[in-house]
Amino acid sequence: MKVIIVGGVAAGATAAARIRRLDEQAEITVFERSGYISYANCGLPYFIGDTITDPEELTLQTPESFFRRFRVRMKVCHEVIAIHPDRKAVSVRNLETGEAFEESYDKLILSPGAKPARPELPGVDIDKLFTLRTVEDTMRIKDYINENRPRTAVLAGGGFIGLEMAENLRELGMDVTIVQRPKQLMNPFDSDMAAFIHNEMRKHGVRLALGHTVEGFEEKNGGVDILLKGKAALHADIVILAIGVTPDTALAKEAGLELGIKGSIVVNDRMETSIPDIYAAGDAVQIKHFVTGEDALISLAGPANKQGRIIADNICGGDSRYAGSPGSSVIKVFDMTAASTGINETNARKAGLDADTVILSPMSHAGYYPGGRVMTMKVVFERETCRLLGAQIVGYEGVDKRIDVLATAICAGMRADRLKDLDLAYAPPYSSAKDPVNMAGFMIDNIFRGVLKQWHLEEIDSLPRDGSVTLLDVRTVREYGTGHIDGFRNIPVDELRDRLDELEKGKRVYVICQSGLRSYIASRILEGNGFEAYNFSGGFRLYDAVINDRCLTEKSAVCGMDQM
């Protein structure tokens, strides 16, 4: 069996190694147009920021080491320029010599990945503008920084690459601004959770120009002017375009393969394309979202590696199936960690789902053990069925552990209220006896059983201020004095039972505290004494973070960047 693989990074390299493990006799050749194989895409920003200092650390394998271990021919600097399904062959060009030749195959695997989106804007080809996708891109950026010592940088785009580059350029001492059209960073997160990410970026000196449309670029005063629609231009010594990626599928299109979203390659759950004996995997393919079942593009290393393995199994006579991806991800944001899985509340509603959420602020481990830090968790579930739809967590230590538990629960089809039943490892340095994931399950179970009624941030402005309802803040007098929502009166939770006569029966009571715990206790006291009480989801901590973020974002809409 002769197997040709186009692309030798995540899915391609995984497929090659797995085929060899299953079939010692297969003839396997990988054509990779860059000069590197099996490299760590996700580590590239950290090399630019000097967290990783040895360039060899970026390459997990070399063509020579891969051949020694797996007897796979890794042909770097070789670009497949055409596919000929009728005669089961590919045309290849050696990019170093210019030689072109044809290679036949029995099975063909396409793993071309995606390419950075490069908008058709004036000045987009200025040599001070860069994109980051390959090791070569990394070296170009690194060399430019070393030679020119830029002091200011603008990043167009606020996704994974934008945030990672912002952190690493700040670590190099640059003034950094992120500019983008959406009014929030990191689309996998709802805007309320993104507020915590914004705060962390601002705390470390990154300016956020959100809600701005870039219209072009001009060389000026030795740097680049970033032209904004209706606003003053931003100026920088270096610009990184990080506005997303698009499937690199020109080959597939020319070969007549069926294409889907943004020109991605359509595959079935065996990763087979529309043409027999041609498979595809990675960032170039359209898959099913595990939660919604809808077609999706999910450009993450984990799914790409799994898809490469599935292809290898099927080529070698197996019957492996790809069930789709919930899109689990995690990112370092300076001192903070942000992670998500499944779908957020915004996308759940767009999908027509009757979604509800719980927001909680648990400690990363037992409160009495030193060093614990607060994290903010948002868990999304379907109201009627209690189906677990997704989760977002922003915090410090322990975020990755909890998001992985929640991702596992989603993939296992677990109901959200069953999170309370998970028997998770506990010791004071690592967790609490009631883990944050359990706590989310307890809250959802209370909602499902009618024990807990909630109100949410989006209801703030519509709450009556005419006395027809009671607005109650149950934090301490001191906490209340440092900041509160207009119209809310203060009765600390520990005084509530003795002061119930101050509240008028028959009126709904909307309760808030700092995180949601004391207000839940207050809600139960009120319910037990004949009141109808609603607990604020997320607490004043969430409210304060979101409102402050909105104010700063509106300022950036006026002046072009945050006021520092």
| Residues catalogued as catalytic | 42
Residue tagged 């599935």 (tokens):
310
Enter the DSSP assignment of 516.
Answer: S
Smallest Cα–Cα separation from 18: which of 135, 111, 81? Answer: 111
Q: CA of 478: how far to CAs of 474, 481, 490, 514, 535, in Å?
A: 11, 5, 10, 12, 21
Size of the chain, expressed as the number of residues it contains: 564
Q: Tokens for 69?
A: 């271990």
Would you list the DSSP string of 122-143? TTTT-TTEEE-SSHHHHHHHHH
Smallest Cα–Cα separation from 535: which of 546, 522, 544? Answer: 522
Exposed, middle or buried by CB within 10 Å (0-12, 13-18, 19+), for 270? middle
- Cα 148 to chain center, whole Å? 32
Contact (Cβ atoms closer than 8 angstroms) between residue 130 and residue 141:
yes
Q: What is the largest CA-CA distance in the chain?
A: 90
Can you tell me the distance from the alpha carbon of 373 to that of 365, in angstroms, rounded to the nearest whole number?
8
Smallest Cα–Cα separation from 235: which of 222, 224, 246, 227? Answer: 224
Run of H or E residues at 65: helix 63-70
Q: What is the dihedral of CA 126, 129, 130, 136, to 10 degrees?
A: 40
Would you list the DSSP string of 347-409? HHHHTT--EEEEEE--BSS-TTSTT--B-EEEEEEETTT-BEEEEEEEESTTHHHHHHHHHHH
Angle at 480 between CA 476 and CA 483, to 5 degrees: 150
Enter the DSSP assignment of 487.
Answer: T
Angle at 62 between CA 287 and CA 84, to 5 degrees: 50
